[in-house]
Amino acid sequence: MSMTIQQHYLQAYDQQLRTDAETPSARDVTLLGPLRLVTFDGGRGFITYQNLVGVGAREMAPLVASALAHFCNNPLITDVEWKTRGHDRAPGLHEALVGSGFTPDDTESIMIGPLEALCHDVPMPGGTTLRTVISDADVRAMSAMVDAAFGDPAGPRTANALIARLARNDGMELWVAEMDGRMVSAGRLEPVPNTDFVGIWGGATLQEYRGRGIYRALTAARARSALAMGRKLVHSDSTEFSRPILERSGLVKVSTTTPYNWKR
Q: Taking each helix axis as running N to C, give the angle between helix 157-168 and helix 136-150, from 0 to 180 degrees, rounded to the nearest 10.
A: 140
Amino acid letter at 246? L
Q: What is the pLDDT of residue 31?
A: 97
Query: In this structure, what DSSP letter does residue 19 have?
Result: S
Under the banding of pLDDT at 50, 70 and 90, the label for residue 1 is: low
Question: Rounded mean pLDDT of 247-258?
Answer: 93
Q: Where are the alpha helices (DSSP H) in 157-211?
A: 157-168
CA atoms within 13 A on the CB side of 206: 16
User: Per-residue confidence at 88, pLDDT binned at 50, 70, 90?
Assistant: very high
The per-residue pLDDT for 242 is 82
Give 193-203 pLDDT, tens digit per residue: 888 899 998 88
Q: Which 3 state secondary structure label does DSSP give 69?
A: helix
Q: pLDDT digit string (tens) for 108-139?
A: 999 999 999 898 888 999 999 999 999 999 99
The Cα–Cα gap between 61 and 26 comes to 25
For the chain, how big is the Rg over CA atoms in Å? 19
Q: How far apart are CA 93 and CA 52, in angstroms?
A: 10
- Domains and their CATH numbers in the chain: 5-109 (3.40.630), 113-255 (3.40.630.30)
Instruction: Quote the Cα angle for 245-246-249, to 5°.
Output: 95
What DSSP designation does 251 have? -
Whole-prediction pTM: 0.85
In angstroms, rounded to a whole number, what is the distance separating the alpha carbons of residues 69 and 75? 11
Q: What is the pLDDT of residues 38-59, one digit of tens each?
A: 999 889 999 999 999 999 999 9
CB atoms closer than 10 angstroms to residue 226: 24
pLDDT tens for each residue of 16-44:
999 988 888 899 999 999 999 999 988 99
Backbone angles phi, psi at 44, to 5 degrees: -110, 130
pLDDT band, very low/low/confident/very high, at 239 (cuts 50, 70, 90): confident
Q: Is 240 helix (H, G, I), strand (E, B) or coil?
A: coil
